[in-house]
Structure 1
């Protein structure tokens, strides 16, 4: 991977178009940390459900993060909310799989232990 700086903003080089790493015109590095945790959690959750043959439809995933109030204001918390459509009879099994996300997500495993990660399921 390569970072370049053709202007004031850094860019992460990608074959399908560079990513701007600037809060004003792209994504800040902190936003990318939170997005990485949310997307990895989603991939892991879907894989665990698919491996068990549990039918579901992932309607959307929302996430937010909080920064610590003290300098240097590191990420203190990441919340991920999964909106799933499934049959009522599969909800309990999905909840059991849900609790395996953190132990199977390499991004969450890579975060500092002080960063609290929370995940929630909303059945729709």
Structure 2
């Protein structure tokens, strides 16, 4: 991976087009971290559900985050990942229990400061 400096700000070089890492133009570095947490969590959750033989469809994933405003750099303090999922009523309990496995199996979440709370939630649709 490579970052280059341009008139727009820092860009992450990518073969299909560079990603500008500046909030006013693209996504900020903090937003990219939040996106990485949630995307990794979503892929891990899909794998857990598939391996558990649960028939499901994840319709969307909503993400919100909070920052520790009382700390100098205002690091992340909480990331909430909400999965909107279609699953049969008799499998909903299994789908809820599977959420607990995401954090231990997601390398991005495992790489975070333990003070950052990652909360996974489900909405059944």
Q: TM-score, normalised by structure 2?
A: 0.95
Quote the residue 1:15 is aligned against.
Answer: 15
After TM superposition, the structure 1 = structure 2 runs for residues 1-124 of structure 1, keeping only pairs within 5 Å, are: 1-70=1-70, 71-124=72-125
The gaps in structure 2 that reach 5 residues or longer are none
Q: Shift in Å at residue 16 of structure 1?
A: 1.2
Counterpart-to-counterpart distance in 2, 1:110 and 1:41: 13
Counterpart-to-counterpart distance in 2, 1:8 and 1:56: 41
* Counterpart secondary structure, 1:17: coil
- Let me know the Cα RMSD of the aligned residues: 0.9
Q: TM-score, normalised by structure 1?
A: 0.96
